[in-house]
Amino acid sequence: MKDLIVAGNGPSLKNIDYQRLPRDYEVFRCNQFYLEDKYYLGKDVKIAFFNQSFFLEQIYTAKTLIKNKEYKIGNFVCSNFKLHSIYENHLNFIKYFDIFFPDANLGSNFLEKLKEFNAYICYNELYEDKRITSGIYMCAVAVALGHKRIYLSGIDFYEGDIDFSTGKNVYVYNANKQNYNKLIGENKIPFYFHSKDTDLKALEFLAKTYDISFFSLNPESILAKNFGLAPVDNNSFILLKKTQNTLDDILIPKETPFIKLYYNKVLQTKSPSQLEIKKRNKINIFPNVKNNFNQRSAKERIQNHLCYKLGNILIDLRNLSDYIKLPFVLSYVVYRHLKDQRRYKKRIKQSPSLKLPPLEFYRDYKEALKIKRTLAYNLGSNLIKHPFTFLFKIKKIKKEWKE
């Protein structure tokens, strides 16, 4: 069996030491790998792995890539987990998978061949709320297929000089694309259940349990320190740049009757044509606070607290007219906030992976806590605690805060 390269989409792909590539190998890629500006590991992909949520769009995109001769892709695998089939939409996806995707495979079928590892990751998600990332998922499938020597790159654990608020250096490619943002969201922060520790321990489990040799293709990577650097093999790999007319966004197929059926019956969700990149209020009463749930920083998350929203309105009270309008404005903001909360809860019930991470997972967490000490937050907090007597305390609270 050939050696295998498992490549994530991290920025370390730009720093592969190509002399360390094996002479004869196959490649596994995942998710939006096709957005890279160069063919960092060539055009031949043995298996392309795509997440369940956007599998239909990804398959359509991948087959377009093949048709355009941008990539050669041998097989498609859905990176699903059997445990998630307890959710109705996930169960429907598995039930109708072979009907909609006859030339693809469910990754969970491969994971079940690794009895010990499957039990290991199931335990971690069930009891610890921890889940492996796509890079480690590909490694597990590779082991199930019989690969013993696996070379790694682009699995960076979201570390280094990156900026989650803009998406800079989160991936090797530019993720700020129209369809990408519509389907996957503008939030580039990894889900809270992913972590470097979880992934490294999973790789160590695979290596020890199944006698697997992992090698890093990046001398400065964390993987090189934990598993060793690939030996120099003097590979003559030629790095090719992509042309300007290559595909640069995930594709959304037109809504045929069966595709509409797929969204309604299988996923039980809105079709892409019904999605918006950003939700905007029709009545712009409070333009400085976002009422959506794609916040990209801890600062935005705290600014979305009801305390902060209400407090900012109270700060701007200037005259008798403002006080007369106040009950109506406050009622509207509370109504919008509660509506967004219900919408968010409904979203994560349908797709638990959309749950926002704890605030402390954000890089600006400590800086964001300062917002809770602002006058606006203090005023809003007091209004919620003392709604009937608050108006008589505004001047006193403002005076005490200034002192």
Q: How far apart are CA 83 and CA 12, in angstroms?
A: 31
**pLDDT tens digit sequence for 222-263:** 999 999 999 999 888 999 999 989 999 999 999 899 999 998
Do both 352 and 203 map to the same domain? no
18, 96, 120, 158: which one is catalytic? 158
Do both 192 and 306 map to the same domain? no
- Please indicate, yes or no, if residue 125 is contained in any of the structural domains: yes
- What is the count of structural domains for the chain? 2
Decide which of 205, 232, 267 is a domain's last residue: 267
At 372, give phi and psi (nearest 5°).
-70, -15
Query: What's the token pair of residue 101?
Result: 């995707």
pLDDT the model gives residue 292: 42
- Please indicate, yes or no, if residue 273 is contained in any of the structural domains: no
Do both 194 and 340 map to the same domain? no
pLDDT band for 215, please (50, 70, 90 cuts): very high
194, 296, 301, 336: which one is catalytic? 194
- Please indicate, yes or no, if residue 272 is contained in any of the structural domains: no
- Stated pTM of the model: 0.71
The helix/strand/coil state of 151 is strand
Do both 262 and 283 map to the same domain? no
Do both 143 and 292 map to the same domain? no
Do both 89 and 115 map to the same domain? yes
* 147 is an active site residue: no
Do both 102 and 234 map to the same domain? yes
**pLDDT tens digit sequence for 143-153:** 999 999 999 99
Q: How far apart are CA 91 and CA 83, in angstroms?
A: 10
* 171 is an active site residue: yes
Please check the confidence at residue 38 and state whether its pLDDT lies above 90.
yes
H-helix or E-strand containing 74?
A: strand 72-78
Q: Which domain holds residue 310?
A: 278-402
Sheet holding 72-78, edge to edge: 104-106, 72-78, 44-50, 25-30, 3-7, 149-153, 213-216
Cβ atoms < 10 Å from Cβ of 367: 12
* 386 is an active site residue: no
Residue 191's contacts (CB-CB under 8 Å, 6 or more residues apart) are 131, 353, 355, 357
For residue 81, the domain's CATH number is 3.90.1480.10
At 153, give phi and psi (nearest 5°).
-160, 160
Do both 228 and 292 map to the same domain? no
Please check the confidence at residue 393 and state whether its pLDDT lies above 90.
no
Do both 231 and 300 map to the same domain? no
Do both 178 and 299 map to the same domain? no
84, 90, 131, 296: which one is catalytic? 131
**pLDDT tens digit sequence for 139-176:** 999 999 999 999 999 999 887 666 655 566 788 998 88
- Please indicate, yes or no, if residue 145 is contained in any of the structural domains: yes
- Please indicate, yes or no, if residue 255 is contained in any of the structural domains: yes
34, 71, 171, 362: which one is catalytic? 171
Do both 121 and 59 map to the same domain? yes
